[in-house]
Chain A
Amino acid sequence: MTQNRSWIPYLLILPTVFFLGLLFIAPLVQTIWLAVSDNGMPSLANMRTMMIDINFGRSILNTFLLTLVVVPVQIAMALAMGTMVSKVNGGRETILWIWTIPLGISDLAAGMVWLSILQNTGYLNTLLFSMGLIERQTAWLTYQTPVALFVGIAVAEIWRGTAIVMIIIVAGLNQVPKEFKEAAEIFGASPWTRFTRITLPLIRPALQSALILRTVLAFEVFAVVYALGGRNFPVLVGEAYNWQNQNQNYSVAAAYAVLIMVISLIATLFYLKVIKVDPERLP
């Protein structure tokens, strides 16, 4: 590019920089300030209000437990789906399309979908009843059944959120050269060895971005929880929502927001550090 045109790229990125500055960086700074100030003075009062709240501990525990269960299951399912579909020739497109359908489904809709299955007169109870496992309609989504409620929410999240992981991982698998696997096969490596020694290391970049994306989203879980359990299952974003909309206390809501952001940031840095992506080893 000639020197006298060097302003062009800046002109092209300017709108995006301006927009993100105004609606990403500015509110980010605003959130942090709101959380650590009181009437314009630095203060930890909001943090304290947040921490002594009765739902604080439970919402942290619930959010972390949900993330720890949901994300690994989604990665494992996505890897299984990617491996399965790579062995198929005919119908590949159709299978992949069906598996990506939940990508278009919001967490709120996913909650409604699983509500139709898990509610008292729903399909799960019908199935259990017909197999003789229960005698009457059983409630699964109440305060008294925390484990069942947790499992229900986790299943709905896994149902909805696996598609995106699957797409990222299949896109990664498509880039693994066939020669690598064939060579390993000739040298007598078992399918499992080929998977752990050849495939997994080569799709590290895809794994890393899938993990970052899904973990950040998992800490944001809210609507699916609300649709299935109402306020019976407190999570961090749900608490932020209640402080903002019900209690009209924007500062404590901001304190929750800062907490969620710090957790997400730590998780991202953790993945960047633990899953090293070495550009020279990529195909």
Chain B
Amino acid sequence: MSNTSFISARRLLLWSGIVALCAWVLVPIYLVALGALGGRSGVYQWPKSILPTGVSLQPFFLFLKTEGVVQSFLNSLGAAGITVALSILLGAPAGYALARYNFRGKDSFRILVLLTRAFPLAILALPLTVSFIRLGLYDTVIGVGLIHTVLALPFAALVTQGIFLGVPRELEEAAWVFGCTRIQAFFKIVAPLALPGLVATAVFAFVISWNEVFAASVLTVRNRTLTAYLLTVLSESPMHYRFAGGLLLILPSVVFIFAVRRYLFAIWGISSK
């Protein structure tokens, strides 16, 4: 075999591997979409067709009209909104402190933040049931948002630390020299430069909350989030409703991930240091 054909054989192998792995990710999503849009008759069709025959948006809209779906969708948005707001509002200042200051107890604080990684945090919802009932937070969107913030906050603090480290300290100090207060310097100089990274962090906080199943199911009864709702009605819902539920769960977070795709690796590079 000549050298060039050896190289092209290797390229072929490489690209078939890449294409196969892309198909491994995409084909199952395509199939669940077929299931969600195929309705009842689609589920029992045998043998199945891979082509989108008999597909319409009608079954999906019917699913959306089922009692509880829209409400739980809105609850999920609410809980995710609270998670985003709290984890950025609390986490970004902590990240800024880690990036810009040396202070006693810094290492202990980092350990506290990193310690959360060794624990399956959602499980902490179990004992919180009792205190949440007492505080009136049980079965509320706010309660779910609070526990989801525990999941997202350590992540936000570590990632924002990396983001603020990426903003040159000299720029901030120059602003002080020109008479800005520290707060003015932060909002006029640092914040605009850090904004894209902060938005990406917020998107991740959203996805963390949106996808969380366990804590949301434990802490709610009537005001269920979408994941908690789907989990509880799972065993009594027909197949095509389950597929529609799966598709409804997938769509928003995939769109969000697409929006921040440029920051994925920077963020995870930072947060896994």
Contacts and interface: CB of A to CB of B under 8 A. Distances in A.
Given A24-B116, A97-B258, A12 B97 contact: yes
A23 B149 contact: yes
B117 to A, nearest CB: 6
A208 B17 CA distance: 26
Interface stretch (A54-62, A87-95, A143-151): A87-95
B70 interface: no
A106 B48 contact: no
A216 B120 contact: yes
Interface in B25-42: 25-26, 28-29, 31-32, 34-35
A85 B218 CA distance: 41
Contacts of B103: 6, 9-10
B140 to A, nearest CB: 15
Given A107-B213, A241-B217, A24 B250 contact: no
B157 interface: yes
A230 B264 CA distance: 34
B73 interface: no
A159 B24 contact: yes
Interface in B256-273: 256-258, 261, 264-266, 268-269, 272-273
B25 A99 contact: yes
A106 B235 contact: no
Given A81-B21, A241-B218, A104 B257 contact: yes
A187 interface: no
B194 interface: no
Interface stretch (A42-50, A65-73, A177-185, A260-268): A260-268
Interface string A202-228: 000110011011001101101100110
A30 interface: yes
Contacts of B217: 241, 245
Contacts of A222: 213-214
A104 B119 contact: no
A126 B70 CA distance: 34
Given A112-B243, A116-B32, A13 B93 contact: yes
Contacts, number: 284
A20 interface: yes
A131 to B, nearest CB: 11
B146 interface: yes
Interface of chain A, main secondary structure:
helix
B68 to A, nearest CB: 16
B101 A1 contact: yes
A41 interface: no
Contacts of A164: 268
Contact of A100 (B116, B231, B239, B261): B261
A102 interface: yes
A209 B130 CA distance: 34
A116 B18 contact: no
A112 B32 CA distance: 8
Given A15-B94, A99-B25, A121-B46, A167 B119 contact: no
A16 B153 CA distance: 8
B77 interface: no
Interface string B73-107: 00000000000001001110110111011110110
B214 A237 contact: yes
Interface string A93-118: 10111111111111111011111110
A19 interface: yes
B128 interface: yes
Given A130-B47, A241-B217, 17 more contacts: A9-B103, A12-B96, A12-B101, A16-B91, A23-B146, A93-B261, A96-B265, A100-B261, A126-B46, A159-B28, A171-B265, A212-B118, A222-B213, A237-B123, A264-B118, A264-B119, A265-B119
Contact of B261 (A97, A174, A260): A97
Contacts of B182: 8
Interface string B106-122: 10010011001111111
8 closest Cβ pairs, A-B complex: A112-B246, A106-B211, A104-B253, A171-B269, A12-B97, A9-B101, A30-B127, A109-B249
B55 to A, nearest CB: 13
A233 B154 CA distance: 32
Interface in B183-235: 207, 210-214, 217-218, 227, 230-231, 234-235
Nearest to B15: A88
A16 B94 contact: yes
Nearest to B11: A87
Contacts of A20: 112-113, 116, 150, 153-154
